[in-house]
Amino acid sequence: MALWQVKDKIVYSDGPLSISAEEMSGVFVRRHFYKVPYSNIGKGGFMMKDGKKIHTPSYQEVHPQATHDDLIVDKKPFQELFVEPKSWSFKSASSDKEYTVKLKRDGNPYCDCWGYMAHKKCKHVKQVKEELC
């Protein structure tokens, strides 16, 4: 019911892991998990391809007896993209919309206006960069 990392191989155990005393000498044993990327289908699924068990949608090969309990889902890919110690708001000159500039994790500003989305340039980001310098 669990996968274990024993030396350099992954071992499946139906119950408690039992290893002989000779095998245990100097061996580090730990529970084995596969880290899979976040997707809109949760932990994903498994399929068989060429006699191997494959996790989808990551398409990584897993142990033949791996289950969803052996998977750890990586966080959403953009969950920590923005670090918001500060954000800037700008009122649109031509409509009622308000645009927000935030800092990405790498420190570069990002705007949610159409100009930035389309061209990666806008007057809002330019103004924030001037303020930061």
pLDDT digits (tens, 9 = 90+) for 55-77: 988 889 999 999 999 999 877 65
Q: Are residues 87 and 67 in the same domain?
A: no
Instruction: Tell me the mean pLDDT in the region 95-121.
Output: 89
Residue that finishes a domain, picked among 36, 51, 73: 73
The order of strands in the sheet holding 45-49 is 45-49, 52-56, 60-62
Cα–Cα dist 49/95, whole Å:
54
Assess whether 39 and 61 both reside in one domain: yes
Is residue 121 included in any domain, yes or no? yes
Residues of the domain holding 57: 2-17+28-73
Q: Are residues 10 and 68 in the same domain?
A: yes
Instruction: Let me know whether 109 and 51 are in one domain.
Output: no
**43 has a pLDDT exceeding 60:** yes
Distance CA 125, CA 123 (A): 6
**Do 69 and 44 reside in the same domain of the chain?**
yes
Residue 21: per-residue pLDDT: 65
Q: What is the pLDDT of residue 82?
A: 56
Q: Tell whether 86 is covered by a domain.
A: yes
Q: Is residue 94 part of a domain?
A: yes
pLDDT at residue 71 in the model = 92
What's the confidence (pLDDT) of residue 99? Answer: 95
Same domain, 12 and 66: yes
Residue 111 pLDDT > 70: yes
Residues 114 and 61 in one domain: no
Residue 116: other Cβ atoms inside 10 A: 18
Q: Is the pLDDT reported for residue 126 higher than 90?
A: yes
Does 7 share its domain with 64? yes
Whether residue 89 is found in the same domain as residue 124? yes
Q: Is the model's pLDDT at 93 over the cut of 60?
A: yes
The number of domains in the chain is: 2
pLDDT at position 27 over 80: no
d(CA 41, CA 45): 9
Is 80 exceeded by the pLDDT of residue 85?
no
Phi-psi region of 50 (alpha: psi -120 to 50; beta: other; left: phi over 0): left
